[in-house]
Structure 1
């Protein structure tokens, strides 16, 4: 399939403010986006998606008829639309609110106001989700790499799986928490573990410690996916458990590709 460029994207822009819609539309046009479908409510957005689909949805957080989470769930729970990337644009800065969207598997989160550079990066991150580009490894066939994906959020797992599958990874097993992952690890062999940090029953730190300090699994590379700040006390403790790489949510394909090449290329 021919790869899309930014100029090929059909974007549904969901923004309740007339002024913000005009500002964001202008910035998208400057990025060479040609097809922008602006709407002001969630119901209009859902109708637009059902009528003609989209390559990307760019949305504010709050509306009179709900929040962007309602729109994400509508998209992700519909087989026809679930692969449409979702970009959040919001002035919301409360970590707990943004965490909900990171767990939901958005392709990018942009603050209001944002710089053109940030928009360009977010558009390219969304394109990476649309355009599949297999990772080439010297020592492995990417199709044979066995991955254990651990996250208590199904939406987050779906997003991470999509990123990994877009790079050619096919043998992906999912676990809802560290305890479930542990049962899989005891029975099966894996070449890579991608795990969330915050999970019930057994979190990512405990799972990583088991993997790293068990002679039979100590060789398995671990990517920790988290929305925690890199300089937080939690992250300092995580790095001491032998995690190979830390990846922020949203799970950006370009960053992940570099990590996989480094971890699996040797």
Structure 2
């Protein structure tokens, strides 16, 4: 897929900011761009003509960007649309739900050309892999356990794995349920959230490494955690890779290849 084949929907209340975003997209070769100043007409348009990418501000006149992506994820026909947030917002209360809902990137205001290009390239690879007819032999037989208490996050990770060609995916709503699955079957990779009820990501990794029948299985931890001591504890517990939210499709795919290939050596 080429950039000029993408249909991008831009939702931004500021006329100046809309102009900046549209101009940046056009400079990169994107020709099909639809603009909106609020969420309601954009959602209506999505139901008629589904875009490849939605780029939205956080603070809209009718709802927030968080509410927008949540509504999109709750509608089957809109749930797989790639969502990019463009915002100067830094507050955890606003950004964490966006990360959980599966934004593929959060671009700051102002963003650089390179930031935008990386996000668009990752999106193109994600969409291109979804449309691919032939399965990737590296991924087709892989079995992956996804662990997250957020149903939207599990679904988004599942979509990323499916686009990469991984069909054999099991979902667990927390660490306790994940341990039950680990007793029943073998996995090539575990992708887990950090903050979860009952048994969190750190406790899950510690149990896998010390008490399970699969102590060497690669574990990728997905987290928006910023506390350095907690991150150090995760690494010390034996996590194979730490991946921050929002998830980059290219980074996820590359990490999966590296983790599983290294295990086979």
Q: TM-score range by the shorter chain?
A: over 0.9
Q: TM-score, normalised by structure 2?
A: 0.93
> Within 1, Cα distance between the matches of 2:96 and 2:136?
29
Residue 130 (str. 1) matches residue 127 (str. 2): yes
1:80 Cα offset (Å): 1.5
> Within 2, Cα distance between the matches of 1:258 and 1:41?
36
**Residue number in structure 2 paired with 1:240:** 236
Measured at CA, do residues 204 and 135 of structure 1 come closer, stay the same or move farther in structure 2, by a change above 3 Å? farther
Measured at CA, do residues 25 and 220 of structure 1 come closer, stay the same or move farther in structure 2, by a change above 3 Å? same
After superposition, residues 65-214 of structure 1 pair within 5 angstroms as 65-132=62-129, 135-137=136-138, 142-214=139-211
> Within 2, Cα distance between the matches of 1:31 and 1:220?
41
After superposition, residues 220-239 of structure 1 pair within 5 angstroms as 220-229=217-226, 232-239=228-235
Q: Which stretches of structure 1, 4 residues or longer, exceed 6 Å deviation after superposition?
A: none
Q: For each residue in 1:91-132, what CA deviation from the matched residue of structure 2 results, as whole angstroms up to 9, or x when unmatched?
A: 101123211110110111001011111011111122222111
1:215 Cα offset (Å): 5.3
Higher share in helix: 2
> Within 2, Cα distance between the matches of 1:8 and 1:228?
36
Q: Is the 8 A contact 2:66 2:94 kept in 1?
A: no
Q: For each residue in 1:197-229, what CA deviation from the matched residue of structure 2 results, as whole angstroms up to 9, or x when unmatched?
A: 011111000000010112511021100011123
> Within 2, Cα distance between the matches of 1:97 and 1:251?
17
Give structure 2 stretches of 5+ with no counterpart. none
Q: For each residue in 1:132-154, what CA deviation from the matched residue of structure 2 results, as whole angstroms up to 9, or x when unmatched?
A: 165553xxxx2221111001111
Aligned residue pairs, count: 258
Name which of structure 1's ranges 197-206 and 247-256 shifts more when overlaid on structure 2: 247-256
Name which of structure 1's ranges 235-244 and 46-55 shifts more when overlaid on structure 2: 46-55
> Within 2, Cα distance between the matches of 1:146 and 1:75?
28
1:73 Cα offset (Å): 2.1
Give structure 1 stretches of 5+ with no counterpart. none
